[in-house]
């Protein structure tokens, strides 16, 4: 079976600043992939290309055998089918939420897909319950906490049950209980046909959310492997600035040990 996403020698610049440099990768349908890398490594840019919010300046990006180009997305039939199948949850929910109430926010995509009213009401209600935000249905999103906004943003995507979920730091700003809820959801999709691609700084969750980890460094794929393989490669993690080496003195001898920092437990 050909890959669902295939990228070859992809480059992308913000003005004159390169974000992706000759990046190549393939992702199969049903894979759960974690993208890890330091700030500026290209994780968010890669997700935006996979969602066809921007397009490669060089190289090729294919989805299900079709090129993801501005010309292809200008075809309404292709664009409609693509947007139905692929959905992105942004790291910052404020750029995603714009409706007057939480209910309207979650109902927006089904209404754009012209679902019957009864189906919209049932699906929105079920999704609000799933995300634990039914009590917020009549609240304006701008008056919610950061964690509540993140859950609404997730609900606004999950409501249409897309084939591909692109998640940019989905557990950021969430309290531990909400983080566990999101991780549990991703774990439930293991072995299904749903493809889940998650960008995260939190190395301690990759074994729960991914079957394969791609390490991004300076806009290209520096390594690919199972979570266990990547987490055991301390030299790679140090080079990619994903862990920090702390020095300790034992009996007058100074040792340097790599440490994985749990972002869910530390305030920065």
Residue spans of beta strands (DSSP E) within 91-219: 164-168, 195-199, 212-217
Q: How far apart are the first and last CA of the chain?
A: 44
Measure Cα distances from 25 to 33, 48, 215, 247, 254 in Å: 11, 15, 11, 36, 41
Query: What is the rounded CA–CA span in Å between residue 195 and residue 64?
Result: 12
Res 253: pLDDT:
54
DSSP state of 147: H
- Strand, coil or helix: 190: coil
Ordered by start, the domain boundaries in the chain are 5-97+163-259
Give this prediction's pTM: 0.88
Could you read off the pLDDT tens digit of each residue along the chain, which spans 268 residues? 789 999 999 999 998 899 999 999 999 999 999 999 998 899 999 999 999 999 999 999 999 999 999 999 999 999 989 999 999 999 999 999 999 999 999 999 999 888 999 999 999 999 999 999 999 999 999 999 888 999 999 999 999 999 999 999 998 878 888 888 889 888 888 878 899 999 998 899 999 999 999 999 999 999 999 999 999 999 999 998 898 665 545 555 544 444 454 443 333 3
- Tell me if 23 sits within 8 A of 219, measured CB to CB: yes
Condensed to tens digits (0 to 9), the pLDDT of residues 186-202 reads 888 887 889 999 999 88
Report pLDDT for 257.
Answer: 46
Q: At how many degrees (to 10) do helices 176-188 and 146-158 cross?
A: 20
At 140 the pLDDT is 96
CATH class of the structural domain 5-97+163-259: alpha beta
Instruction: Report pLDDT for 262.
Output: 42
């Amino acid at each position: 079976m050909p890959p669902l996403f295939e990228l070859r020698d992809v480059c992308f610049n913000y003005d004159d600043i390169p974000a992706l440099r000759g990046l190549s990768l393939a992702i199969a349908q049903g894979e759960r992939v974690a993208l890890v890398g330091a700030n500026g490594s290209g994780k968010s840019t890669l997700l935006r290309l996979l969602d066809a919010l921007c397009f490669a300046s060089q190289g090729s990006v294919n989805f299900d055998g079709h090129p993801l180009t501005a010309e292809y997305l200008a075809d309404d039939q292709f664009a409609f089918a693509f947007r139905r199948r692929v959905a992105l949850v942004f790291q910052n929910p404020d750029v995603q939420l714009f409706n007057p109430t939480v209910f309207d926010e979650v109902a927006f995509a089904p209404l754009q897909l012209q679902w019957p009213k009864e189906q919209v009401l049932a699906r929105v209600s079920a999704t609000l319950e799933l995300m634990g935000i039914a009590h917020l249905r009549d609240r304006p999103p701008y008056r919610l906490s950061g964690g509540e906004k993140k859950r609404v943003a997730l609900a606004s995507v999950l409501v249409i049950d897309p084939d591909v979920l692109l998640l940019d730091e989905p557990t950021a700003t969430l309290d531990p209980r909400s983080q566990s809820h999101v991780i549990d959801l991703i774990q439930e999709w293991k072995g299904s046909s749903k493809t889940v691609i998650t960008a995260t700084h939190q190395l301690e969750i990759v074994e729960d959310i991914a079957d394969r980890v791609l390490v991004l460094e300076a806009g290209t794929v520096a390594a690919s492997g199972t979570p266990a393989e990547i987490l055991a490669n301390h030299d790679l993690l140090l080079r990619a600035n994903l862990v920090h080496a702390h020095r300790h003195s034992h009996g007058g001898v100074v040792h340097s040990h790599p440490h994985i920092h749990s972002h869910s437990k530390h305030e920065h």
